[in-house]
Chains A and B, each alone.
Chain A
Amino acid sequence: MNFQGWAEIALTLGLAIALGWPAGVYMSRVWNGERTWLDPILRPVEKLFYAGCGVDPNKSQNWLGYAGALLAFNFIGFVFVFAVLRLQGVLPLNPQGFDGLSPHLAFNTAVSFVTNTNWQSYGGETTMSTLSQMLVLTVQNFVSAATGATIAAALARAFTANRGEGVGNFWADLVRTTLYVLLPMSLILAIVLVALGLPQTLSGGAVATTLEGAEQKIALFPVASQEAIKQLGINGGGIFNANSAHPFENPSPLTNLITAVSINMLGWAAFFAFGRTAMARKDVRALCAAAFILLFAGAAAIYWTETQAAPALVAAGVDASVNMEGKELRLGGASTAAWAAMTTGASNGSVNGMHSSLMPLGGAVTLFLMQLGEISPGGIGSGVAIMVVMAMLSVFVAGLMVGRTPEYLGKKIEGREITLAMLAVLVIPLCILGFSAIAAVLPEALKGLMHEGPHGLSEILYAYTSATANNGSAFAGLTANSPWWNTTLGVSMLIGRFGPVVAVLAIAGAVAAKPKLAPTTGTLPTHSSQFVGLLIGVIIILGGLQFFPALALGPIVEHFQALAAVSGS
């Protein structure tokens, strides 16, 4: 560890939240239907959508109508992606000559991109045609991100409603977030990234003859356009198998800084947008503080683990100051640590170094950040929504201790909300631990593992954690392209996405119907540092207690094995 490394980590994490603030104010204006400077260009396009869809954007839906529209849109998206991937072989713009995907791989990939997970059971440059990358993967990168944002918009409105019914219009939230926020930002970022070296070509590839006379086939794609929305939309599905470790996705320390900041920027923006739309700016600052503390602690912990002596390097008698296996030289230990925390704290899942080769506790931190529910800062909107659920649980716990009916943001929190909040939070460990337990004893599942022992268990645990938390990163030694893994991981992604989404919208419906209360002297302040501490405690206990036994058998055992190996050599 050195000062430069700490400075780089602080800059990367800090810049993301600093830029998230103005972006959040803008996002809130978009959700609220206020004027923006892009109106002259985008209003006509927006109106075209509403006219074609036959919807009235000003008609506020109740939570059931909103959830129904969201599910219908995502279902149609799934069918479309599945069809294109199956038919890839006979569709145009396939210079690579790839065949269609198998049914289970197409199912897994379609679910993966519709749920904003971007888990990749396939190797990008060996499976996906240029058309598939553009027409289905890039499109879902936009609209799955916007879908996440809609639930935060709906929940924010619920807290301002006074015995109201509606939580907003799904179609308006979807179209406006996509057109006004994601599209212009991605356009600018994509062009900046081309200028910094990311390829943007439909040629499919080039063949080089090296100075030694060997042949090297170089796969090429429209990389920059997908990279921009992959990061801004907190998606994470790379064009290439190696994702953001690939020099075409991330050629320099500067592109690394820009794309790392992009992982978290709009996640933070959704926090600030929620605060502005729900008229709860101070309370949201407390949520941000809790999320940022967890994220920074994660990055610091990974930086520490990656600068501990790696057993293989020590045994070979080489410099062991940074564990360089799976890391790019231009990026190094600090860049990889910051990224690993940001990508797992958000539900991004892109990687700039291989998580499977992290030191055992480094891998444990990435697992833990996902298991906390993707809240630091999580996906666009989905992160802040789950954080609000955690805050409601925190005021409930505090209310139990002092014997008062808990309130949050001027709304009474009662039995129905707590039941739904617990459902949203508990569906995650149930899915992760349930599937992991089955896979750990199923020969069909174990065939896909690369490692035996604790690291093998970590591969299983990581896969279901990543899928259920809609993250998408992997301990990539696991070969997941088989019927068992593709199917169960696909089901995990569906449960992990739509379980919490429907629960959060149901909470929004319940909250919207309640009267708005003025705070009294008995109200627990939810913007104090004391509340931040309480919130972090609830998050860690909910995450930690459930997952600790599994982590103890995987990365924690491996950590002690690594210590023993280093002291023995």
Chain B
Amino acid sequence: MIRHIRPALVSMGLFTVLLGLGYPLAVTGVGQAAFPFRAGGSLLRDDQGRVIGSALIGQGFAEPKYLHPRPSAAGDGYDASASSGSNMGPLNADLAGRVKTRADALRAEAPGQPIPADAVTASGSGLDPDISPAYARLQAARIAKARGLNVNQVQTVIENETEKPLLGFIGQARVNVLAVNRALDKL
């Protein structure tokens, strides 16, 4: 064993310099130079240049005039420094209660409409930026009423921000909540 100590120490040192510093710093250099927006976290800014969020990270909208995201288990909800799912098992009584409460609230808001699963379940990250087109459409009437708009205007915004699955079959059709809310504020 003793004769292996020197190569172990030296190679560990060289690997640390090469892979721990050289590799991530090289990727950082190339990334920041070639794709500064994405390498910086896809941060979105308002007209004054203040950061309003990341295009990739969900936020906890609650006002009636905004599109609402999925329920979140990250911190107190959409805490982007503490990502987490609920980790509740399929038979967890607390989960059943939460899902029921959320579904009842949505039924009161939009009676008679079918409720998609994403509207009442927490995502894996707690930071899901997207909702399903069905959940977005469900909210259109509330948003239109709060903003004094025609429902069709809101539906058009939602449609414009809907992204289809890649090549038609990879991933799901989705609506980015923050993108819709920005577009609504600009109407």
Contacts and interface: CB of A to CB of B under 8 A. Distances in A.
Given A80-B12, A216-B53, A191 B86 contact: no
Interface string A339-363: 0000000000001111011111000
Contacts of B39: 194, 199-201, 224
A353 B35 CA distance: 28
Contacts of A178: 15, 19
Contacts of B40: 199, 201, 203, 220
A205 B81 contact: yes
B1 A72 contact: yes
A49 B14 contact: yes
Contacts of A528: none
A201 B32 contact: yes
Contacts of B27: 187, 190-191, 194, 200, 222, 224-225, 228
B11 A174 contact: yes
Contacts of A49: 10-11, 14
B123 interface: yes
Interface stretch (B112-120, B140-148, B149-157): B112-120
A526 interface: no
A250 to B, nearest CB: 9
Contact of B80 (A217, A356, A359): A217
Contacts of A360: 89-91
Given A54-B10, A73-B8, 17 more contacts: A52-B11, A53-B11, A171-B7, A186-B23, A191-B31, A200-B27, A200-B32, A201-B28, A210-B59, A222-B27, A246-B125, A254-B166, A254-B170, A257-B166, A311-B96, A316-B99, A329-B132
In order of increasing CB-CB distance, the 9 nearest A-B pairs are A253-B171, A245-B124, A53-B7, A72-B4, A242-B83, A354-B85, A194-B31, A455-B89, A242-B125
16 contacts: A4-B169, A134-B21, A139-B16, A143-B12, A191-B30, A200-B32, A225-B28, A246-B83, A246-B125, A254-B170, A256-B171, A320-B117, A324-B117, A450-B88, A475-B87, A562-B90
Interface of A: 3-4, 7-8, 11, 45, 48-49, 52-55, 68-69, 71-73, 75-77, 80, 123, 125-126, 134-136, 138-139, 142-143, 171, 174-175, 178, 183, 186-187, 190-191, 194-203, 205-212, 214, 216-220, 222, 224-226, 228, 240-242, 245-248, 251-254, 256-257, 310-313, 315-332, 335, 351-354, 356-360, 450-451, 455, 458, 475-477, 558, 561-562, 565
